[in-house]
Amino acid sequence: MKRSLFLLLLLLTGLSATQPSFQIALLKYSGGGDWYANPTSLPNLVKFANQNLLTNISEEIATVEVGSNELFNYPFIHMTGHGNVVFSQQEVQNLREYLQAGGFLHIDDNYGLDKYIRPQMKQVFPELDFIELPFSHPIYHQKFNFPNGLPKIHEHDGKPPQGFGLIWEGRLVCFYTYECDLGDGWEDQQVHHDSEATRLKALQMGANILQFVFNQE
């Protein structure tokens, strides 16, 4: 799917009152890491976005493998987990082509992912480095305003949350949320017992990410 088709798909968002405009997907990867963590997070995020952004995203979340041609059917891919990640050369090429074609990858470190995902993404874009996005970046100032950047959802190592990006030809193609754990905040309340205020911040920031992707040139 060419980038223009991705953009057409996004322009259709919310135009149909009955049929969802598109799906988002969870990325399934090899290496032994728990790519399937946080099973309630994406459905809850989609419900929140549909209610607050007036989007029309399917509440049925797809699962897609890194090397699959089906990757190109989804304008937004979410990746999470705690452990090892391994991309084959075919998967590296497929993910690169997907991102260059207009796709978007959100990586959410669920604690322990960092040392594994960085070298894998370096294979995908060897010419790029993750850069920390400034608090003034538009991703923090969509429907909801986050003047201090990412909210802190879970403590992890007690470090401040950071949002890193890979920027290809002026476009943010990958947003990596580190020491934040947005996905845990999107989960059903009884899973992690986060306060409603904490969960709301996580969902608002997640909605911002989706809205930024929809509006990005």
Identify the bridge partners of residue 28 per DSSP, sorted by sequence position: 65
Return d(Cα 31, Cα 145) in angstroms, integer.
37
Written as six digits, the tokens of 23 are 């799906």
Nearest Cα to Cα of residue 213 among 94, 99, 79, 60: 99
111 neighbors 154 (Cβ within 8 angstroms): yes
pTM for the whole thing?
Answer: 0.91
DSSP per position, 149-165: SS---S-TTSPPPEEEE
103 neighbors 6 (Cβ within 8 angstroms): yes
Estimate the share of the chain in helix, then strand, then coil, as percent rounded to the nearest 5: 35, 20, 45
Give the model's pLDDT for residue 14.
42
- Strands 76-81 and 162-168, sheet pairing: unpaired
190 Cβ neighbours under 8 A, 6+ residues apart:
none
38 Cβ neighbours under 8 A, 6+ residues apart:
80, 110, 183, 184, 186, 187
Give the model's pLDDT for residue 13.
45
Give the model's pLDDT for residue 29.
97
DSSP per position, 19-42: S-SB--EEEE-BSS--TT--TTHH
Give the model's pLDDT for residue 140.
98
Give the model's pLDDT for residue 111.
86
- Average pLDDT per 10 consecutive residues for the chain, totaling 217 residues: 48 49 94 92 97 95 98 97 95 98 96 94 98 98 97 81 97 96 89 84 98 88
Give the model's pLDDT for residue 192.
62
CATH architecture for segment(s) 3-215: 3-Layer(aba) Sandwich (3.40)
Q: Domains of the chain: which residue ranges?
A: 3-215
Give the model's pLDDT for residue 159.
85
Return d(Cα 28, Cα 32) in angstroms, integer.
11
Identify the bridge partners of residue 86 per DSSP, sorted by sequence position: 30
